[in-house]
Structure 1
Amino acid sequence: MQPLRDLVSSALADPETGWSLGTFGAAAEFRRRPDEPAEPLRDGRLGLATRRGGIALGLRPDLVPVAYETALPGGWSHAVALCLPADSLRGPARRTCTELGPDRAALRPEASGRILFDLGLGLAQVDVCLRSDAPEVLARIRRAGGPVALDEGILADLRAGRLGLVFAGSLGRIEVEALGAPPGPRAYAPEAVLRLGRSHAATAPIPPGLVPVAHIHPAHPLRDALGRPRPFEARHHAGFQALLERWGDPDLLAWKRHRLGLGPRPGRPPDRRSRGAERVAAIQAACGAYPEAAQQGEAPAASVTDS
């Protein structure tokens, strides 16, 4: 468990690292500004709380981190998926809005008396909830029948400070207490995406039998926390490559090294995922991430994309 604790603790300590918890199409995100005050949780849980929200995580022996990179047009993304065995997820989730009582697991003591409602979206990976002590919000939600969509009306109440959002799952929770200037906490659950019924994006190389329930989003070498381009940051690239070596798919790493001219060709036919790993290698080499590959003539044109 110590390697898992080290992974989570180091990510929590980095203000440039973001987090998400939920499923494909329904997730809460926790981010903070570098100068934003953040406090460790008082009850011993791994996590942080800011004025705008927070995150709490609990480690499990069956937790499997999966680090991966995905080629995008003109660039790439990266993340560490925190996965659990599919057969360990709970049974059918609530499909009607349900009052759960005071939120005793709230990250801040002052929120523990507010009333928690599961919105009834019926997701195995996460309960999408709201929390409030505003009489008008409580009355409206108690009148609701069936599931309650995370719509503009709820977001308007969130912006007005009349409620908070809580996404709670098998590994912990992310709370969104206020929306403000990014980077910061946010949440989304568009019905059109949820109807697809996916657990993760098709481009994420999640091993069979595992389901992502949260993600770590380390700082990117070419984009800041707002997604704006910046000059290549070698330290951010090196930091994620270390995670990829420790928690990534060895087969995809072998294909990446082969594309860079730094290793032999793997002994199996290429497939969609191996070609994706090679595209990431090509894009990164074009950015100057691997000067040793460039010296061997392995760096591709900068126009390599995932199209």
Structure 2
Amino acid sequence: MASPSIPDDPLEWIATQLSDPACKCSLGGFGAVGMFAQDADAEVALKDHAIVVGAAGATLRIERGANIRLVAFETISSDSLSWNHGVAICTDQSRLLAAQSDCLRETGPDRSAIDEADRHVPCFAAGVASQQMRVLLRTADSDLLHALRHHTGLNFFDLPASVMELLARSPIDWIVETPVGRLEFRQRLTSHSLNMPCPVFIDRDLLASGLTYARGIAIPPGWMPCGYIFPPHPARAAPGMPKHFDEREHLRFQQILDRFGIAELVSLKRQTEADIAAGTTVMQPLKTRHETDIVRVVLRQRLTMGHGAGLEPWMEVFDRPLLEAVRKRPDASNR
């Protein structure tokens, strides 16, 4: 049964997460994504039709009519001792975006702007697009407008260096638009921030890969992730920055996993935890990568929590890299 602290309404749950400055949110697709980082002054408004969250330099809107399904997951990390977690914001595949040109083109005033005052401002499709997202550029700056219009028809990655430099130092809004909502970044540079990087992560090779999400994440058939919620990690302050294990944050995410995770994988995880705690003999190798990864996550979490007794036979079967990493730790001889 779902925890009473977790609302049934996906938008209401997202709103509670976005009220926490330690929670992160991203919108986009594989190869082009914007990361929305809250701050202590972020304003979260849950309206009838959408969530709107405003923070310094960025505004996020997630639509109620997007037929959202939340899918919680845990995956193994590239760090052989750790794991990742998150909640995918999915929509059904019938709502995915139509194919877009890979060239820069003007689309007219931005009628979908979050702020009504921006709905008359000229907007350009950058040509960075997939069924999950498109990147838009919105500006009223005359020099930048002239440059963008002059280079309409070019692939975004082939724009001259002079245009990219102008993009980096002009007042412009970078927008990630998806079937579940949009994320707008206001670039209003000052003399102290002229080297500000592009607020949208764009990778040409990832866009060309044909992937729509990381292979380690299990997404139910017929659904597509267009964004992610990242609640605080119990063992990491940030990627590559370990912290003292926070049991409350761990238990909080386990409640989220029980509520929004794929039922078969959650059941496997809970059974594995029970088997290890009972000292049960190791099961045979599992059928799918996702099933195997669930067991590997359990092993990593138990080690992090200091419950390493009896894990070596399991690591021998399911996670040799973890076993080797454990054997190399300075305290290995004392266990």
**1:90-239 aligned within 5 A:** 90-144=97-151, 145-149=153-157, 156-157=165-166, 160-178=169-187, 186-225=199-238, 227-239=240-252
> Deviation at 1:116?
1.4
- TM-score, length basis structure 2: 0.77
Task: Identify if the C-alpha distance between structure 1 residues 40 and 10 changes in structure 2 by more than 3 Å, giving closer, same or farther.
Answer: closer
Post-superposition Cα deviations, 1:167-188, rounded to whole Å, max 9, x if no partner, equal 01111101122497xxx99311
Residue of structure 1 equivalent to 2:288: 271
Post-superposition Cα deviations, 1:120-178, rounded to whole Å, max 9, x if no partner, equal 23411111111111111111111122332398877755653521200011111011224
Task: Identify if the C-alpha distance between structure 1 residues 143 and 187 changes in structure 2 by more than 3 Å, giving closer, same or farther.
Answer: same
The one-letter amino acid of 2:63's match is G
Give the match's secondary structure for 1:7. Answer: helix
Q: Distance in 2 between matches of 1:185 and 1:32?
A: 18
Contact residue 261 and residue 296 of structure 1 kept, 8 A: no
Residue of structure 1 equivalent to 2:42: 38
Picking from 270, 286, 304, the partner of 2:303 is 286
Task: Identify if the C-alpha distance between structure 1 residues 50 and 62 changes in structure 2 by more than 3 Å, giving closer, same or farther.
Answer: closer
Runs of 4+ in 1 over 6 A off after TM superposition: 150-155, 263-268, 299-303
> Deviation at 1:262?
5.1
Higher helix share: 2
**1:28-67 aligned within 5 A:** 28-33=34-39, 35=40, 37-40=41-44, 45-60=50-65, 62-67=67-72
> Deviation at 1:268?
10
Q: Distance in 2 between matches of 1:27 and 1:91?
A: 18
The one-letter amino acid of 1:243's match is I
Residue of structure 1 equivalent to 2:333: none
Structure 1 unaligned runs (5+)? none
Q: Distance in 2 between matches of 1:269 and 1:54?
A: 43
Superposition CA RMSD, Å = 3.4
Contact residue 99 and residue 118 of structure 1 kept, 8 A: yes
Contact residue 161 and residue 177 of structure 1 kept, 8 A: no
The one-letter amino acid of 1:257's match is R
Task: Identify if the C-alpha distance between structure 1 residues 236 and 25 changes in structure 2 by more than 3 Å, giving closer, same or farther.
Answer: same
- TM-score, length basis structure 1: 0.84
Q: Distance in 2 between matches of 1:223 and 1:254?
A: 25
Q: Distance in 2 between matches of 1:154 and 1:282?
A: 50
The one-letter amino acid of 1:174's match is L
Q: Distance in 1 between matches of 2:324 and 2:91?
A: 29
Contact residue 53 and residue 185 of structure 1 kept, 8 A: no
Q: Distance in 1 between matches of 2:204 and 2:308?
A: 49
Residue of structure 2 equivalent to 1:77: 84
Give the match's secondary structure for 2:235. Answer: coil
In terms of Rg, which structure is larger? 2
Give the match's secondary structure for 1:192. Answer: helix
Task: Identify if the C-alpha distance between structure 1 residues 161 and 258 changes in structure 2 by more than 3 Å, giving closer, same or farther.
Answer: same
The one-letter amino acid of 1:276's match is D
> Deviation at 1:23?
0.8
* Percent identity over paired residues: 25
The one-letter amino acid of 1:39's match is E
Q: Distance in 2 between matches of 1:59 and 1:104?
A: 18
